[in-house]
Structure 1
């Protein structure tokens, strides 16, 4: 059972999940986001992924989390996002036990996680918000850099710190999310490739398989 809703913080989605008996392994697609997760009394950070992650929690396991929108989570943790790319890191490796203990023992994990994040909240970097919007719109990296007044090298460095990877990888991941959303809504794959910004349907197929690990049809089937 999975449910999500708007958290009491901007740019953040709260979610909860209980793993039923016999649950199959779950494929989590890269989305540019960072999650702060409580699982059965343990708290960890799931960093921004470059490819899909596949795993299954034990039956009966309870999970509660906050999903920070693209470019917002690293500021709350006070660390560069690229130190968390493709990693799951216990929160106790980042913060003192006095900070993490109350979270692990919380009777209301979502409220505890929101309080933790609120105390450390930093507004997103406006330039990086613009970069994410440009990447989502399929704009060329050079054009995004010019619009933000950044050199290509500076843009690369800022993106890695904020998003966990460079602007080209960010654009591929956001394009994947657009494509999967369109396909799940019932759009023909040929239309998906055009609307999402792929060169053609073969390009769509290659990119989805590279990032998700399975064909688009398997993701939406």
Structure 2
């Protein structure tokens, strides 16, 4: 069982959605790069996931319970007290973040493996959102240029063009991209282009058309990038 919920309107600019999952069987779930970061409560306790640059298979056992907060790319700001690039391709316990949200971690503990009740999951979700909101009130706002960076790179602009359009030097763009997303602009571009292509393919558009519309040189270029970022083919992702 997997469920997504929209955040309250006042948090919609920074939180994409709130989610919860109870694993129905033993197995592994493939997580692919999307430039997002999650705060997750699970069997291992409270931890931060991402941002990823490659496939991250996540082993699960039947009954494992997860509750998560998914943040918009570039919207975490200084929430976790460490540079995002230090969290890249990592799953980091909150206990390793220098005291950030330690009280929440101690209060929640690890999730159970018996399908915690909906009431328990709802209480955990409220506690996580409350801690995030309180922490944001104590830290600087995220870079206001972050959404424009991601949008321009997703649209196929070159790094040089994006820097010029935003009034930055390429060095400034690189620094601000690392701070906001944990990626260099070129890596961010590859990931948002991949996600755009995946959305189009899931909508049923032919892959040759998807490749052209997403800014790939051809369908082979799309296939190679998908395999590099996800570890599987587009066909596997779609099924």
Band the TM-score falls in, shorter-chain normalisation? over 0.9
Cα distance, 1:63 vs structure 2? 0.1
- Distance in 2 separating the partners of 1:131 and 1:87: 23
Paired positions, count: 220
- Distance in 1 separating the partners of 2:126 and 2:45: 15
- Distance in 2 separating the partners of 1:103 and 1:73: 21
Q: Which runs of 5+ in 2 are unaligned?
A: 112-119
Report what 1:114 is aligned to. 129
Extract structure 1 runs of 4+ deviating beyond 2 A. 95-100, 102-107
- Distance in 1 separating the partners of 2:37 and 2:77: 8
Does the CA contact (< 8 Å) of 1:7 and 1:66 recur in 2?
no
Q: Which runs of 5+ in 1 are unaligned?
A: none
Q: Deviations over 1:35-64 (max 9, x none)?
A: 000013710000200011112222101000
Report what 2:71 is aligned to. 68
Does the CA contact (< 8 Å) of 2:46 and 2:109 recur in 1?
yes
**Match of residue 55, structure 1, among 45, 58, 73:** 58
Report what 1:164 is aligned to. 182
Cα distance, 1:99 vs structure 2? 4.4
- Distance in 2 separating the partners of 1:123 and 1:103: 27
Q: Secondary structure at the match of 2:79?
A: helix
Aligned alpha-carbon RMSD (Å): 1.7
Q: Secondary structure at the match of 2:60?
A: coil
Does the CA contact (< 8 Å) of 1:64 and 1:110 recur in 2?
yes
Q: Greater CA deviation, 96-105 or 203-212?
A: 96-105
* Correspondence 1:134 to 2:157: no
- Distance in 2 separating the partners of 1:103 and 1:119: 17
Normalised by the length of structure 1, the TM-score is 0.93
Report what 1:181 is aligned to. 199
Q: Secondary structure at the match of 2:47?
A: strand
